[in-house]
Chain A
């Protein structure tokens, strides 16, 4: 099956710093999403981005489908950004399965 690799696995930032999280995938994808898992376990949708670039406040994401990677940018980080960020992909139309990476654990310190 498709492989999804996220980097870095862990990241510690000072409040106010910027960061880039990366998601590499081994095959073409029909669907790609970024999620934030908060300390209570809830998965929050950040972006639905199988290709192109999107922005939402301090967060933005870019997916280059032809090169099989996606990037999540966090600017001016806040302590509430802490948690685990997951990338999930659907390998091709009609598979209906979302495969998750192992996540990037972000800790933002004051």
Chain B
């Protein structure tokens, strides 16, 4: 969506390195999410945050870390503990109000381990 910016679009990581994926939004949405997508698969939730300075683990949080220091930003760090990080990573945001809590997605970051 136009109000959600993910960067970089492509990222290459060497074995053993940590990398950080950026997600910024100007929609004033409350919640932000990180999903992982493997080829031919659906989206799996890594982490999500409803408010600043608070976040919760999703289904596949191991090997990842996040922070939410500002409402607009929710960076994801893929650590060396993540054994199979090659995937497509998608950031989403939602405005948490009944009837208006539609989720929108950024354009994604493709991470490849080399």
Residues of A within 8 A of B (CB): 1, 31, 33, 35, 40-43, 45, 48, 86, 88, 90, 93, 96-103
| Residues B96 and A96 in contact, CB atoms below 8 Å apart | yes
A97 to chain B: which residues have CB within 8 Å? 45, 48, 58
A41 to chain B: which residues have CB within 8 Å? 37, 88, 90, 107-108, 110
B52-64 Cβ-contact flags toward A at 8 Å (1 or 0): 0000001100000
How long is the Cα–Cα vector from A97 to B108 in the complex, in angstroms? 19
How long is the Cα–Cα vector from A101 to B41 in the complex, in angstroms? 9
How long is the Cα–Cα vector from A67 to B90 in the complex, in angstroms? 31
Considering only residues 60-90 of chain B, those with a C-beta below 8 Å from chain A are 88, 90
> Of B31, B48, B59, B103, which one neighbours A88 at CB under 8 angstroms?
B103
How long is the Cα–Cα vector from A40 to B37 in the complex, in angstroms? 13
With most chain A CB atoms within 10 A of its CB, the pick from B37, B41, B98 is B37
Q: B11 at the A/B interface (Cβ < 8 Å)? A: no
Smallest CB–CB gap between A106 and chain B, Å?
14
How long is the Cα–Cα vector from A97 to B37 in the complex, in angstroms? 16
| Residues B45 and A48 in contact, CB atoms below 8 Å apart | no
